[in-house]
Amino acid sequence: MAKSPKSAAPARATPARGRTAPAAAHHTDSGPAQGPAGDPADPAARQKAEVQALAAGMPSNPTKPDEHGFVNGVAPKPGVSIAPPSRLPGASTLSEANASEKTGGVAPEGGNPTVAPLDRVRVDSTGQRLTTNQGVPIADNQNSLKYGLRGPVLLEDFILREKLTHFDHERIPERIVHARGSGAHGFFECYEPLTQYTKAAPFREAGKTTPVFVRFSTVQGERGSKDTARDVRGFAVKFYTDEGNWDLVGNNIPVFFIQDAMKFPDLVHAVKPEPHHAMPQAASAHDTFWDFVSLMPESTHMLMWVMSDRAIPRSYATMQGFGVHSYRFVNEDGDSVFVKFHWSPKAGTHSLVWDEAVKISGADPDYHRRDLWERIESGNYPEWELGVQVFTEEDAERFSFDILDATKIIPEELVPVQPVGRMVLNRNPDNFFAETEQVAFCTAHVVPGIDFSNDPLLAGRIHSYVDTQISRLGGPNFHEIPINAPIAPVHNNQRDGMHRQAIHRGRVSYEPNSLAGGCPFQAGAVQGFVSVPARIAAKEEQGKVRAKPEKFADHYTQATLFYESQTPVEQAHIAAAFRFELSKLTVPAVRERMVASLRNVSEPLARQVAAGLGMRELPEPLPRALAKPAKPEVRNSPALSLLARPGEMGIRARMIALLAADGVDGALLQAQAAALADQGAAPRIVGPHVGGIAEADGGMLQADASLENEPGFLFDAVVLPQGQGAIAALATNGLALEFVKEQYRHGKTLLVPADARVLLEQAGIPWELPDGSADPGLVPGDGNGETALKAFAQAVARHRHPERETDPPRV
């Protein structure tokens, strides 16, 4: 073997008298009294000299006096920084220029690639060979390594061990609440500048777009539970602004069960499956929940919403969203106003009915997740308008309720909702786990221009949401997971911890410093986040106290407002929901307590619920915590009814079934499907089986769904067929008759040709409403097909026809 030639030893230079020896610049544990001269030929000496110059340039901390006093506290000044003469002082190592395929080169100045777009971590394996996690190509992915064909598996099989070990650790702890969720990417677009109210980045100029990621969720159920449970829905929006991430973490209901975060663990323990037998899943119809809320009258307003159709939305795209709490807008001058956030779907607010929700949960537990995915894949992008209620501290003082109380709304009649922008979801995630499951929302994530109020429930959420992510995502560096990383530059002195991704250049990880020229330095009040100094200018008793303001004790006025603002059919649904939930209880005393509470909301409601529970006498109303509540400003608010928000998108993304069987008029059916698709609907041909259906003229039609795998309650409307053979076949098919019956029972629209009326007769469906008038949801399909389809589409756009509802149902 050839020997490597020895390197020639460098000649020693004799240092000049009075100067530091060059070797001193290479020591890391001691140094001379004077810094090195900065020999241009010696990078180490230059680095030492430039660091010395930086440190000498900051003989003291000039910002220290500014840390004291109230005035400095509300308007902090920017930190001091000194620009280094070169990149050397900030280097971790002089060897950083020695690049390789792994190390790369010198870090870009001022850069942090962990906030780059998600393209940096997207993986596409098209045309690639299979490898281990270490990049080793795998020759055989079918068999473990054994000693002989029938011998034992060997411990040295690192490929098998890596594969199994990773598989064993794929799951992470699910969220305690909001475990079941679905998400999508999109953008927020501002209509007009809101700079008179806020300096927040998304609202600074007309037309400005901000990337967003949105996660919708149920609250009670586990990760694998059903989508259509009666429940609050989470509506969490992560704005990736150019000044950091802002998480608007809300729900589809504008109020909550409790007023103080101290009760949040109690609420969740009460509503979750009962701990002795872990039932029921994703349901509030059990003893522990109703025992808790019947003893917490502040929950009454929320119960009205949860027992209404708001708690069983038709889809994520047809439900509102709310920030729940009062927040603050802060402008460039530091002036502050209160704000509440409202998301309104462009498709309108539409719900399921209870019978429909129960059946869908069995046929398709992923109903809402599938709907969101398919809308985006088909180009029917869900869209919401963001509105704000802006009001001053003086306004807040005049209200009959406390704006810090999360169990209260501000009626739109008192403070109108101003539209300020729109949000469009236009991209599905590439990977559910990496994005939807690992996304971390925290109410503490705000940006300059957004601040908190003194809401005691919000205060607990500010702590709890960050805390839970540390446990769920494995440590404090969850912000570096790609979906959570901001698009704004990230520079601070936080280091280390589990799963750290960023490789920080340099030796400084503290502030103030002089060795890195003072960087990164504090931004100061002009560019940085500054908390509003006076969160609310109310006349408060000073001193630490565990208590609530007196207005928090009015537990029933807004519950009554909500109930009285509903249409008669919505009121009937609320009564039916209470009846169902309370009928599931095993402790009669809890039922009686809840009915006693409802008497403080509405006597007719309490009587209806009591009658449905077989209670012959009404219990006495529960004692009120506040005997004489303030007179409400608003007694009826039409905006609280779902039916007040029909939407503006017609039949886009509506699932419409076209029934078919052998002998169908195929040409007409295909034309109907095409016409509906042209309006943005999602038509599906449903037959007794999938695949070929013989047409009356001898052709062949392809059904892409069957009566068995896509029952009637999964659709928004149905078109009955023409063709004597098809009608005769469906009239003797129990699944077809049940399909039509469920469409009718759930208030859906049916297009009914004259010949197909026999299907209604066979299903026992009357042509008229209970009062003898025409049913607007039964559209004749005779005559001009275009005219009939137009009338059909208009009827479908209503979503439902509650006029035909009876209790119990006629059909």
Catalytic (active-site) positions? 178, 251
What is d(CA 455, CA 265) in angstroms, rounded to the nearest whole number?
Answer: 17
3-state per-residue secondary structure call for 326-384: CEEEECCCCCEEEEEEEEEECCCCCECCHHHHHHHHHHCCCHHHHHHHHHHHCCCCCEE
264 is in an annotated binding site: yes
What is d(CA 298, CA 321) in angstroms, rounded to the nearest whole number?
Answer: 21
235 is in an annotated binding site: no
Name every residue whose Cβ is closer than 8 Å to that of residue 793 and which is 6 or more positions away in sequence: 650, 651, 676, 679, 681
Contact 310, 252 (CB under 8 A): yes
**Rounded alpha-carbon distances, angstroms, from residue 463 to 75, 441, 468, 480:** 25, 12, 9, 19
Of 317, 284, 177, 189, the closest CA to residue 234 belongs to 177
* SS3 state of residue 463: helix
Please compute, for residue 388, the number of CA atoms within 13 A of its CA located in the half-sphere on the CB side.
Answer: 21
What is d(CA 756, CA 739) in angstroms, rounded to the nearest whole number?
Answer: 14
**Radius of gyration in angstroms for the set of CA atoms belonging to the chain, rounded to a whole number:** 33
Angle in degrees, 0-180, between the axes of helices 568-583 and 588-598, rounded to the nearest 10: 160
The C-alpha angle 356, 357, 359, rounded to 5 degrees, equals: 65
* SS3 state of residue 687: strand
Tokens of residue 81, six digits: 């920084």
Contact 251, 322 (CB under 8 A): yes
**At 460, phi and psi to the nearest 5?**
-70, -35
The C-alpha angle 345, 351, 354, rounded to 5 degrees, equals: 160
**Rounded alpha-carbon distances, angstroms, from residue 558 to 339, 600, 638:** 19, 11, 14
215 is in an annotated binding site: yes
**At 384, phi and psi to the nearest 5?**
-130, 150
Contact 294, 225 (CB under 8 A): no
Strand partners, 321: 343
Beta strands in 696-767 (DSSP E): 700-703, 705-706, 717-719, 749-752
DSSP state, residue 434: I
381 is in an annotated binding site: no
What is d(CA 198, CA 450) in angstroms, rounded to the nearest whole number?
Answer: 7
Known binding residues are 175, 215, 264, 461, 465, 472
Binding-site annotation, residues for heme? 175, 215, 264, 461, 465, 472
